[in-house]
């Protein structure tokens, strides 16, 4: 098995990529971006972080909107200090690791402490995968594949990991497949797509915010408790019906509960909003046999998707985001068992909009124009992934989904983003 995976990693995939590139010579736009497209959808991608930089969808008004944040030029991503994990692939371990410490087979490892003043590791450390230039190994009219080799010891993680990320567009859909091979040692791997959404392209005349976007997480019945810096404590809570963390009963505007006292501190100390991980959980005995404790709010939701639903993951979405103004709706399907939700609470009006977004004058030409920057609550991030910091909670039973080695199958993430207008398939 080990030799087979190494063969696939180092020989088969590069040969396939070379053949595809040879038949479809990649063309790079003047702004340094790679374009792919299909019916009703087109996107631009860049090697930095294996990131999506633009995604164009036609809305209910017949206008094409660029619905993800980003920069106009590909070179800005590596030079700007405003880069907030912007639409890339965080790794080799997405989200937070408590104390930057974990143990595998009795050996303790220490990773780069780049978050909360050195209290934990976030998105793989200060040189995480979304801060690196990937290699384009395949590019056709509707698909692009990036590769990255992460060496033993980088950011404190053990062993070499070789990863491939493929983005494919089909009519009105964006498909993601991430594969990572641990070639030399056991190591934690958890990836995601850290895409920032504003389904109006900041062109809603009434508001530049995303608080009127509706969100539905139909499996989000539970959540793990977190401390005031969003590190899971290990306890599991219930998302009570009609509470601020109830996204499962029906679609709800993101800003619907922002005046509720219950939401204060919901995304960490002195924070109002959401930075939560919605877990799609197969209720393992170690969790389902424990009572749900009455503990103060945390920032992760556990989804109660059963075994059959998880196996048939592409039959029903785990998340739906929709704009009442543009009519654009995205349904997200994935075999991952968590979805992190972030409502851009930390945006402060310094990240510029792209030339494809917003207004250059006032929406009605009767008053000064809006600032051409991203405001607080101006976007939403939806990260499909596994349970955050699961490597430090063996009672959750996540090791088989988060620890990989030369003798195991590779890490795989699959997701599909299906776009429609007012929910009508085209």
CA distance 252 to 303: 17
Q: What is the pLDDT of residue 396?
A: 94
* pLDDT, mean over the chain: 85
Active-site choice (85, 213, 337, 383): 383
Residue 194: active-site member: yes
Give me the catalytic one of 139, 194, 213, 297: 194
pLDDT 10s digits, 3-23? 444 444 444 454 444 334 434
- Concerning whether 393 is annotated as a catalytic residue, the answer is no
Report CA dihedral (407, 413, 414, 419) to the nearest 10 degrees.
-170
Q: Which residues of the chain have pLDDT under 50?
A: 1-12, 14-23, 272, 276-298
In which residue are the tokens 């393992």 written? Answer: 284
Percent of the chain with pLDDT over 70: 82
HSE (CB half, 13 Å, CA atoms) of 52?
28
CA-based diameter of the chain, in Å? 67
Q: Which two tokens stand for residue 230?
A: 């969003």
Domains by residue range for the chain, with CATH: 28-196 (2.70.98.10), 204-347 (2.70.98.10)
Q: Using one digit for the tens of pLDDT, what is the confidence trace for 27-55?
A: 789 999 999 999 999 999 999 999 999 99
Which of 151, 181, 191, 188 lies closest to 13 in space, CA to CA?
181
């Amino acid at each position: 098995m080990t030799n087979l995976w190494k063969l696939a990693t180092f020989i088969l995939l590069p040969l396939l990529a070379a053949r595809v590139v040879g038949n479809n010579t990649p063309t790079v736009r003047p702004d340094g971006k790679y374009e792919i497209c299909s019916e009703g959808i087109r996107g631009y991608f860049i090697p930095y972080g294996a990131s999506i930089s633009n995604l164009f969808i036609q809305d209910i008004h017949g206008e094409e909107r660029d619905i993800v944040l980003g920069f106009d030029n590909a070179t800005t991503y590596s030079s700007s200090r405003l880069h907030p994990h912007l639409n890339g692939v965080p790794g080799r371990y997405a989200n937070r690791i408590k104390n930057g410490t974990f143990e595998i087979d009795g050996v303790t490892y220490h990773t780069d402490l780049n978050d909360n003043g050195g209290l934990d590791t976030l998105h793989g450390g200060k040189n995480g995968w979304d801060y690196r230039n990937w290699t384009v190994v395949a590019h056709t009219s509707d698909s692009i594949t990036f590769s990255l080799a992460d060496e033993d010891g980088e950011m404190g993680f053990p062993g070499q990991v070789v990863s491939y990320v493929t983005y494919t567009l089909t009519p009105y859909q964006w498909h993601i497949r991430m594969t990572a091979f641990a070639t030399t040692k056991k190591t934690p791997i958890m990836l995601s797509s850290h895409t920032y959404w504003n389904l109006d392209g900041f062109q809603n005349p009434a508001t530049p915010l995303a608080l009127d976007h509706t969100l539905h997480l139909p499996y989000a019945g539970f959540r793990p408790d977190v401390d005031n810096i969003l590190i899971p404590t290990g306890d599991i809570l219930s998302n009570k019906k009609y509470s601020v963390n109830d996204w499962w009963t029906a679609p709800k505007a993101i800003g619907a509960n922002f005046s509720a006292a219950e939401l204060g501190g919901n995304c960490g100390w002195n924070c109002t909003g959401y930075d939560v991980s919605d877990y799609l959980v197969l209720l393992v005995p170690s969790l389902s046999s424990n009572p749900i404790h009455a503990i103060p709010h945390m920032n992760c939701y556990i989804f109660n998707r059963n075994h059959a639903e998880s196996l048939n993951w592409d039959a029903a979405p785990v998340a739906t985001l929709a704009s009442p103004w543009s009519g654009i709706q995205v349904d997200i399907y994935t075999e991952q068992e968590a979805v992190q939700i972030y409502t851009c609470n930390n945006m402060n009006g310094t990240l510029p909009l792209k030339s494809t977004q917003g207004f250059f004058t006032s929406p009605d030409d009767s008053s000064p124009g809006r600032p051409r920057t991203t405001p607080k609550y101006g976007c939403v991030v939806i990260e499909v992934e596994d349970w955050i910091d699961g490597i430090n909670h063996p009672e959750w039973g996540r090791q088989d989904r988060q620890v990989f080695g030369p003798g195991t199958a590779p890490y795989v993430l699959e997701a599909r983003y299906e776009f429609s207008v007012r929910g009508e398939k085209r």
